[in-house]
Structure 1
Amino acid sequence: MLARHHDPIAAIATAPGRGAVGIVRVSGRALQPFAQALLGRALQPRHAHYLPFAGDDGQPIDHGLALYFPAPHSYTGEDVLELQAHGGPVVLQLLLSRCLQVAAAGALAGLRLAEPGEFTQRAFLNDKLDLAQAEAVADLIDASTEAAARGASRSLAGAFSAEIHALLDALVHLRMLVEATLDFPEEEIDFLRKADAAGQLARLQQLLAGVLQRATQGALLREGIKVVIAGQPNAGKSSLLNALAGAELAIVTPIAGTTRDKVQQTIQIEGVPLHVIDTAGLREAGDEVERIGIERAWDEIAGADAVLFLHDLTRQHESDYASADRAIAATLQGTLPAGVPVIDVWNKSDAAPTPPPAAAPGHASIRLSALTGDGLDDLRRTLLQVAGWQAAPEGVYLARARHLQALHAVDAHLMEAAAQLHGSRQPALDLLAEELRLAQNALNGITGEFGADDLLGVIFSRFCIGK
């Protein structure tokens, strides 16, 4: 896709289906002759013109608005023509076909259909957006909660990029000092000590810690967490899913093994998406269908960000039940990756006034009733806590997993740089300079000032066609 970024492109820019308005967008260089040939008149920049969109027989396909945005004052940084018509799929396809037909007749050589994300990719290539802002376009479209949409909007406005550039400025200044010391070894002046290089590095690490904390919160807003409800049959897993979702999603009966396959619902708590999955009851099953459901339950558990281990308070004193719970707990410990939290949820508090047993080491413990809702708020707060969510300040912006990976890489390089700087009376300045260079490269990769073409291709290929 990058090799063809000089071609003029066209696409339907609105979502598939029917609507009041649909848009066909064309982007390229010097679109004035094409617009004249297509519409039969010149267009005044940035003015809406109401006119007929004629077909090849001269008859109107539709009547609508045409807008022309000359470069560089457009979304892509190129000339952009937008045709706003009635939002029917047939009408828009006819308009798009007419654009390609007029272009093929000589009005715009090389016009082709846009690939996914190509309009936004051109905005990035033409310095209208950096890469983090370009990704925020897709995040804003895909936002599943109000908080995520607000965070994506802040990223699109450049809040995240501004913090990355502040880190870069401080890092480049520190690199300059180190490189100067390397370039002039004959000078006896201790550049680094006089310029407080150690203090600059410490302040840079402190600044990075704040950015990383906010980016982690932003990644939670964007991605959410996968929460799997696990436990023995009839512990109330399906009832808990229904209570959290506020809807009857899963079938609830007194019959053990009612849930044979996973049931999933995304809910939000304080704007954070939680992908909650109800699974089959864990036990030794002779029924083949139930056995498959239990295998799938363990597969979901293995990929969870948090597990709600559901227990039945009314049966906690039954030796067979307690033994089965211990077996599940042992299997959980061997199945879950290190660091995945397990919350012991003691259900049916409405029917069992006795307190639950002591929580397992490292486990949070919640007593609740999925039937009455008592204790659900405590569970919601605990889920946010184990996910690492903090009360979202207004300045939180959306971030992606690749941004966190880059920031963690920067943190590792700066830690190694600090070790080189403080490790001996005579720092290894060449190694210190290399760590700072690698940290800068990682930061540049976030905004796209440094990045491989294949990375850009993957990012933009996940956009919709019209973006």
Structure 2
Amino acid sequence: MSSLDTIIAHATPHGYGSVGIVRVSGTLTKQVALELLGKLPSPRQAEYLPFYDINRKMLDKGIAIYFPCPNSFTGEDILELHGHGGPVILEMLLQRILMFPGIRIARPGEFSERAFINNKIDLTQAEAIADIIEASSIQAARAAVNSLQGVFSKKINYLIEEIINLRLYIEANIDFPDEEEISIISQEKISVKLNQIISDINLLINKAHQSSLLREGSKIVITGKPNVGKSSIMNLLTGSDVAIVTKIAGTTRDVLRQQINLDGIPINIIDTAGLCDETTNEVERIGINRAWHEIQQADHILLIVDSCTTNLEEQENLYKKLISRLTYEKLFTIVRNKADLSNEKIGKNNTNKYSIITISALLEDGIEILIEHLKQSIGYTSLSIEGNFLARSRHIEALNTAVSYFLIAKEKLFFPEIIELLAEDLKLAHTALSEITGKFSSNDLLKRIFSRFCIGK
């Protein structure tokens, strides 16, 4: 790496603990080891050594591990100091090392960024490091480990290789149309190859959508008129009394959030203030505005109605009124509550537009049907962990962009006079896929990704 800076940071969380780790990476690492420890530890061997201050007084004593370049996480010389986990001791150690000219505190994610720049990992593997740390379930953690091991990268690199081979043939025929030695692919063969690549990318998009649920989860918003049982259903879904439940209409005035885990998928359940046409209460009006904001952001809407007072026609009118204010189509479920009073049959029915689930929140009857429906509606198919990976929104966006360029290229296939434009579309698709692994990435993209990492990683 061309940077002259040597960086340092805590590699363990701030606070009290039995062990605290300080990590150093860069060209001055050897000098730090010699002056701080009195020796350069043997490569990749843990040694129990004193840590000295500038006056050769012992600051602490612990484990030192030296990783010489290029066989280290960052590809640079790295020194890890495992000392006692008290914040004062760790800060003294940090400040001692910062006395060396040319050493500074690392930016968030800078160790991982240097590993990427030095070709130790690609961008999907770098993101997987953050995903492992932030994983909210065992399934998500294992999928992130798969990504770190290169499962996702291999799939992208395979597609890129297929595109490169196709581009080579097409561009060779453009540049050397009269050369007999150059293999000429017929239009039909090019079409077959394009279709195969499009099919492969679409399969990967489907799997990426599935795997993104493990990381990003789904946002389910509970809405409806006041006093229809929204808060009771919120409590039943989350398994805790997060919402106040009373017979007084409009008890919930603000947005309540709780995350649950359904088969390893993080689900954000959001309870909102009851919707009503008009109100003179300022607090209630603010609550309704916040409810509409959450509804617009939802992945799935649960419209709760009182089965005692809402017939099917009124239910349809409520649905139409609600969707008329939405900016894009969403998953929709109508929950008919209070079946214990209306004597409606507990169960589930489907229409072309939405599902209808009848429950009794008071008796907790039908809640399992609702939970099972939520699992199915999420679209997660319980993929096996082996071969799975974690995908982010930017990955799916890049895959969709690549497909769009391939579809445009197909339209140009049977117009030889614009074959150069077809080749350009393939180049753009190639670039879109390469942004996933970071082979072609803007500095702005890299800054956005690594700035979200914790310091010391």
- State TM-score, norm by structure 1: 0.92
| Partner SS, residue 434 of structure 1 | helix
Letter in 1 for 2:252: T
Mapped to 1, the partners of 2:349 and 2:209 lie a distance apart of: 32
* 2: CA distance, partners of 1:371 / 1:56: 69
> Does the residue aligned with 2:9 lie in a helix, a strand or coil?
strand
1:203 pairs, out of 196, 200, 225, with 196
| 1:312 maps onto 2:306 in alignment | yes
Q: Distance in 1 between matches of 2:238 and 2:368?
A: 13
Deviation per CA, 1:359-406: give whole Å up to 9, x if none. 665112112233343323332333233333222232221111111110
Alignment of 1:455-466 (within 5 A): 455-466=445-456
Amino acid at match of 2:452: R
2:73 is paired with a residue of what secondary structure? coil
Structure 2 CA distance for aligned equivalents of residues 184 and 371 of structure 1: 77
Q: 1:289 aligns with which of 283, 303, 311?
A: 283
Aligned position for 1:171: 163
Task: Give the AA of the match of 2:326.
Answer: L
CA pair 194-306 structure 1, distance change in 2 beyond 3 A = closer
Q: SS of the counterpart of 1:247?
A: coil
Q: Map residues 363-374 of structure 1 onto 2, 5 A cutoff.
A: 363-374=354-365
Q: Is the 8 A contact 2:344 2:358 kept in 1?
A: no
The residue number in structure 2 matching 1:331 is 321
8 Å CA contact 2:27, 2:76 repeated in 1: yes
Alpha-carbon offset, residue 286 of structure 1: 2.7
Alpha-carbon distance in structure 2 between the residues aligned to 1:155 and 1:406: 17
Q: Give yes or no for contact 1:217–1:396 (8 Å, CA) kept in 2.
A: no
Tell me the CA shift for residue 458 of structure 1.
1.1
Structure 2 vs 1, CA of residues 326 and 293 (structure 1 numbering), >3 Å: closer, same or farther? farther
Which residue is equivalent to 1:436? Answer: 426
Measured in 1, the distance between the counterparts of 2:279 and 2:187 equals: 73
Q: CA deviation at 1:358?
A: 7.7
Which amino acid in structure 1 is aligned with residue 110 of structure 2? E
Q: Are 1:245 and 2:238 counterparts?
A: yes
1:266 is aligned with what amino acid? Q
User: Structure 1 27/398 Cα, relative in aligned 2: closer, same or farther at 3 Å?
Assistant: same
Matches within 5 A, 1:84-233: 84-101=82-99, 103-104=100-101, 110-187=102-179, 191-193=184-186, 196-233=189-226
Deviates more, 1:193-202 or 1:453-462: 193-202
Deviation at 1:303, TM superposition (A): 1.3
Whole-Å separation in 1 of the counterparts to 2:327 and 2:70: 50
Change (3 A) 1:290 1:327: farther
Q: Which amino acid aligns with 1:349?
A: A
CA pair 352-194 structure 1, distance change in 2 beyond 3 A:
closer
Q: Matches of 2:264 and 2:364 in 1, distance apart?
A: 20
1:40 maps to 2:38: yes
How far is 1:449 from its partner? 0.3
SS at match of 1:459: helix
Q: Distance in 2 between matches of 1:156 and 1:174?
A: 29
Q: Give 4+ residue runs of structure 1 displaced > 6 Å after superposition.
A: 356-360
User: What is the letter of the counterpart of residue 44 of structure 2?
Assistant: R
Distance change in 2, residues 1:416/1:282 (3 Å): same
Partner of 1:196, secondary structure, is helix
For residue 399 of structure 2, give the secondary structure of its aligned residue in structure 1. Answer: helix
**Is residue 82 from structure 1 mapped to residue 75 from structure 2 by the alignment?**
no
Q: Deviations over 1:308-342 (max 9, x none)?
A: 0011123235x9xx75x566433311222322121
**Contact 1:282-1:328 at 8 Å conserved across structures:** no
d(CA) in 1 for partners of 2:98 and 2:349? 71
- CA deviation digits over 1:232-281, x for unaligned, max 9? 11111111111111111111111111111011001121211111100011
The unaligned stretches of length 5 or more in structure 2 are none
1:386 equivalent in structure 2: 377
Name the SS of the counterpart of 1:212 in structure 2: helix
Q: Distance in 1 between matches of 2:61 and 2:270?
A: 49
CA contact 2:169–2:183 (8 Å) conserved in 1? no
Is the contact between residue 420 and residue 427 of structure 1 (CA under 8 Å) also seen in structure 2? no
Alpha carbons of structure 1 residues 8 and 190: separation in structure 2 relative to 1, 3 Å: closer
CA contact (8 A) 1:344 1:359 kept: no
- Conservation of the 8 A alpha-carbon contact between 1:345 and 1:365: yes
Contact 1:11 1:114 in 2 (8 A): yes
What is the CA–CA distance in structure 1 between the aligned matches of 2:446 and 2:120, rounded to whole Å?
16
- Cα deviations by residue, 1:203-222 (Å, 9 ceiling, x for unpaired): 11121111111111121211
Secondary structure (helix, strand or coil) at the match of 1:228 reads: strand
Cα distance change on mapping 1:5 and 1:461 into 2, 3 Å = farther
What residue is the counterpart of 1:454 in the other structure? 444
Aligned-pair CA distance for 1:349? 2.6
Q: Which residue number corresponds to residue 107 of structure 1?
A: none
Identity in percent: 45
SS at match of 2:221: strand
Aligned twin of 1:52: 50
Q: Could you tell me which of 354, 367, 377 is aligned with 2:368?
A: 377
Cα distance between partner residues in 2 of 1:172 and 1:7: 37
Size of the aligned set, in residue pairs, is: 453
Q: Distance in 1 between matches of 2:288 and 2:21?
A: 48
Whole-angstrom distance in 1 between the partners of 2:131 and 2:3: 23
Task: Report deviation, 1:175.
Answer: 0.6
- In angstroms, what is the RMSD of aligned CA positions? 2.2
> What is the CA distance between 1:75 and its match in structure 2?
0.9
Deviation digits for residues 132-154 of structure 1, max 9, x if unmatched? Answer: 11011111111112211111111
Distance 2:49 2:336 in 1: 67
